């Protein structure tokens, strides 16, 4: 008997609805529905709660192969959350460009001023600069919030958006002869790549 069938049987043996069981296990009714339909497995912590609530050993609740699947999924989830959190924090850090003197005056990059103090460039170019930085920061804030609010479905899209914004930032700032701002964006991009490789790659080892 598969885990989803065992869970249904245990729940019905206590005459509980999915919503009632969800309250006992401190999870959502959607989670119970997902587990019972075979569309996923609970976390290790949830398995312990299920085992405790029904007074049954985990080994009797789920087979060893399924436990391996659960453990691997938790590692993947941890990696995704960690990458999203770091990437989001790096994007938020880009906001420092709004306050530090990192912009050259026209062709003169040895003398730098803050973004809002620039007077030698057209207003629309300055607007583009502010827009790129603001979008990067907002994307970072959204990325951090998805982790805090446990909304993993948004993580991938925000990660991709963050990478694209980093690339756009490098291209725009270097093209407009703003090497310091371009360097900040390039450093952020490199750090994101480093975090992804270091965190993700070991978890994908066979």
Residue with tokens 């609970």: 42
Q: Taking residues 178-190, what's their average pLDDT?
A: 93
Beta bridge partners of 113: 103
pLDDT in the model for residue 133: 96
Task: Report whether 92 contacts 137 (CB < 8 A).
Answer: yes
Q: Where are the alpha helices (DSSP H) in 14-54?
A: 18-25, 29-36, 44-54
Helices (H), 26-154: 29-36, 44-54, 58-61, 64-93, 123-148
Cα–Cα distance for residue pair 190/130, rounded to 1 Å? 22
Q: Is the pLDDT of residue 31 over 80?
A: yes
Instruction: Decide if pLDDT at 108 tops 70.
Output: no
**Percent of the chain scoring above 90 in pLDDT:** 40
pLDDT at residue 107 above 70?
A: no
Going by C-alpha positions, the residue among 129, 126, 12, 6 that lies closest to residue 62 is 6
Which segment of 21-25, 45-49, 108-112 scores lowest on mean pLDDT? 108-112
pLDDT of residue 53: 92
pLDDT greater than 80 at residue 64: no
Query: Is a pLDDT exceeding 70 seen at residue 22?
Result: yes
> What pLDDT shows up at residue 117?
83
Q: Average of pLDDT values for 157-175? A: 93
């Amino acid at each position: 008997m598969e885990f989803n069938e065992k869970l249904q049987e245990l729940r019905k043996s206590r005459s509980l609805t999915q919503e009632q069981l969800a309250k006992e296990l401190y999870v959502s009714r959607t989670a119970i529905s997902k587990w019972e339909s075979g569309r996923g497995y609970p976390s290790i912590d949830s398995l312990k709660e299920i085992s405790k609530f029904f007074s049954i050993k985990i080994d009797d609740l789920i087979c060893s192969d399924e436990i391996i699947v659960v453990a691997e999924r938790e590692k993947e989830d941890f990696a995704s959350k960690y990458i999203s959190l770091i990437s989001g924090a790096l994007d938020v850090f880009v906001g420092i460009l709004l306050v530090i003197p990192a912009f050259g005056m026209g062709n003169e990059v040895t003398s730098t001023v803050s973004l809002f103090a620039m007077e030698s460039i057209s207003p629309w170019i300055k607007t583009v600069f502010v827009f790129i930085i603001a979008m990067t920061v907002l994307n970072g804030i959204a990325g951090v919030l998805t982790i805090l609010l446990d909304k993993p479905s948004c993580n991938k899209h925000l990660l991709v958006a963050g990478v694209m914004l980093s690339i756009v930032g490098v291209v725009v700032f270097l093209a407009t002869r703003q090497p310091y701002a371009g360097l900040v964006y390039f450093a952020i991009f490199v750090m994101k790549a480093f975090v992804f490789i270091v965190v993700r790659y070991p978890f994908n080892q066979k």
